[in-house]
Structure 1
Amino acid sequence: MGKRGTAAPRKRARRPSGRGRGRSRGPLSRIAPVTLALGILSLGAGAALAHWHADEQPVAAVAPAAPQAPRADRSPAAPAPPETDARPAAPPAAPSPSRPGRAAPPRSVPLTGAGTFTTARATGAEVGTGTLRRYRVQVEDGTGIPAADAAHEIERILAHPRGWAAHGRGRFQLVTEDADFVIRIATPKTADRLCLAQGLDTRGEYNCETTEGVVVNLKRWLLGSPTFTGTPAEYRHLIINHEIGHEIGLRSHMTCPGPGEPAPVMMQQIKGLRGCVSNAWPHDEDGRYITGPIVP
């Protein structure tokens, strides 16, 4: 028993299996993790390189399985609006005042405003013949309409070839001070208040003429009228021509002269055309005054 006990360790030391699990396997076991680590690092570097390429430009050798949405941080700039209406995918262009019959896009109209007004710092030349009537233009604060822009638009309306001034019915001049009357553009609530002071119920919809001048409802100025065939810019001609008609002495309203005839500007066209065709000018293209029966 004692000899076997001493011989057994020497026998195990010479076994090949002992070498495989001992010193001869040591270097391999150290190389294997290093090799594995290098492989992982190579894969990681390849993935990082691919990611870097993907951020810079598409990699032609690797086609995606399905189209991918652009990255939010590299999305292209919004396309410019189309120059013509020929592109079906583009939104419709806003109507131009030079295109009759096209409706304007709806705009948000504030029902009430500050109740204070800004006077247009603008002056113009005299137009027309006869008694001079100087006017100034005011716009209620908070409407978003520059007073000077509104004043120059009204100036152009009064100088229109089919307007009052062009046919000897009045002489007008845009001024900043010392005006004979004022044209105010006001929100519906403010317009109602100013008109009601003269005993006129405009119901948040209509314009009126007062002892101080003309009150234009902002809603009508921006949106036009559902009874009027034409743009809001053309309807503004009717607003100004109708109210200035009162200013030059035409106190009575008119009605439709007959089916298919142009409606007189002194007709309250917003309340119905009664068979007439909507019209924004006092005179026709031949210079004839468009008239109709007086409303009793």
Structure 2
Amino acid sequence: MTFAGGAALAYWKNARETGASAAPEPTRTPTPKRVASPRPSPSPTPTPKPKPSPSPSPKKTTVPKSGAGTFTTAQAAGDAVGSGTLRRYRVQVEDGIDISAREAAKEIQEILAHPQGWAAHGRGRFQLVSENADFVIRIATPDTADRLCLAQGLNTHGELNCETTQGVVVNLKRWMLGSPTFAGPPSEYRHLIINHEVGHEIGIRQHMSCPGPGKLAPVMQQQIKGLNGCRSNAYPYDEDGSYITGPVVP
């Protein structure tokens, strides 16, 4: 198409105003915004649990091997318990050992009054006194116990108790520690000591042995020397009131 002078100018002017010949702008797809992924929160550092303090080791009981050789008599007395022949006893503790004579006398008094003991079954009446006693119960260090027992021809080897013409000698080691053959605490083993030696005092001179596997050992068995299949036992009578016996040791 050919335009002359002014007509051409008019055409281009009109085209600009109407945009007829303007090329359309390309459509731009907006770039999506990147959304930052949330950063994971760091796991909390676990607070270390405090380590438990080690339990203190049990205090070891120390038993002196020897003592002064002199004794303190418990200044205590009580009512007679049981039935039968009255036997008055006093309690003595060797000087210099950490045992109260009065407390020991109280414990022995309770042992002799136990419902499975001699007094509860007519084998004697026992009364704690501080003087004019029929026999004495002495708690002595191993060396002193050996000396007192050996005077009666009994060798206790620093380990055993004995019964003498004056009464009962209790080895402090056994009183405090019990026995490795006895399945019970020393407090229970003390019943066996007193019941065994007082058994001799009331006239049971011979020892007994185990009556059979699994049965209760007689109180007159020397249980510290071995149970021979029996169960350790500290009382002359069982809970039903039956006397626990066994074959007599020749």
TM-score (normalised: structure 1)? 0.66
Question: Partner of 2:115: helix, strand, or coil?
Answer: coil
Amino acid at match of 1:113: G
Which residue, out of 41, 47, 66, partners 1:112?
66
Which residue, out of 145, 151, 154, partners 1:200?
154
Do the aligned partners of 1:106 and 1:223 also contact (CA within 8 Å) in 2?
no
Question: Partner of 2:79: helix, strand, or coil?
Answer: coil
Question: Partner of 2:63: helix, strand, or coil?
Answer: coil
Greater helix share, 1 or 2? Answer: 1
Stretches of structure 2 lacking an aligned partner (at least 5 in a row): 1-51
Cα distance in 2 between the residues matched to 1:269 and 1:175: 30
Cα distance in 2 between the residues matched to 1:260 and 1:227: 14
The alignment status of 1:134 with 2:91, answered yes or no, reads no
Amino acid at match of 1:266: M
Cα distance in 2 between the residues matched to 1:207 and 1:223: 13
Which residue, out of 194, 203, 211, partners 1:249?
203
Amino acid at match of 2:135: F
Do the aligned partners of 1:181 and 1:212 also contact (CA within 8 Å) in 2?
yes
1:91 shift after superposition: 3.7
Which residue, out of 78, 81, 99, partners 1:145?
99
Partner of 1:174: 128
- Residues 176 and 291 of structure 1: is their aligned pair in 2 closer, same or farther, counting only changes over 3 Å? same
Which residue, out of 174, 194, 205, partners 1:240?
194
Alignment of 1:210-221 (within 5 A): 210-221=164-175
How large is the RMSD of aligned CA atoms in angstroms?
1.3
User: Which consecutive segments of 4 or more residues in structure 1 shift more than 2 A?
Assistant: 88-94
Residues 48-92 of structure 1 show CA distances to partners (whole Å, capped at 9, x for unaligned) of xxxxxxxxxxxxxxxxxxxxxxxxxxxxxxxxxxxxxxxx64747
Percent sequence identity is: 75
Residues 205-243 of structure 1 show CA distances to partners (whole Å, capped at 9, x for unaligned) of 000000000000000000000000000000000000000
Cα distance in 1 between the residues matched to 2:187 and 2:57: 16
Residues 89-143 of structure 1 show CA distances to partners (whole Å, capped at 9, x for unaligned) of 474797xxxxxxxxxx631000000000000000011100000000000000011
1:193 shift after superposition: 0.2
Partner of 1:124: 78
Question: Partner of 1:173: helix, strand, or coil?
Answer: strand
Amino acid at match of 2:162: C
Partner of 1:39: none
Partner of 2:114: 160
Alignment of 1:1-296 (within 5 A): 89=53, 91=55, 106-296=60-250
- Residues 274 and 114 of structure 1: is their aligned pair in 2 closer, same or farther, counting only changes over 3 Å? same
Amino acid at match of 1:267: Q
Cα distance in 2 between the residues matched to 1:259 and 1:93: 36
Stretches of structure 1 lacking an aligned partner (at least 5 in a row): 1-87, 95-104
Cα distance in 2 between the residues matched to 1:132 and 1:92: 48
Amino acid at match of 1:225: S
Question: Partner of 1:182: helix, strand, or coil?
Answer: strand
Cα distance in 2 between the residues matched to 1:143 and 1:233: 18
Cα distance in 1 between the residues matched to 2:149 and 2:176: 19
Cα distance in 1 between the residues matched to 2:119 and 2:193: 16
Partner of 1:13: none
Do the aligned partners of 1:113 and 1:140 also contact (CA within 8 Å) in 2?
yes
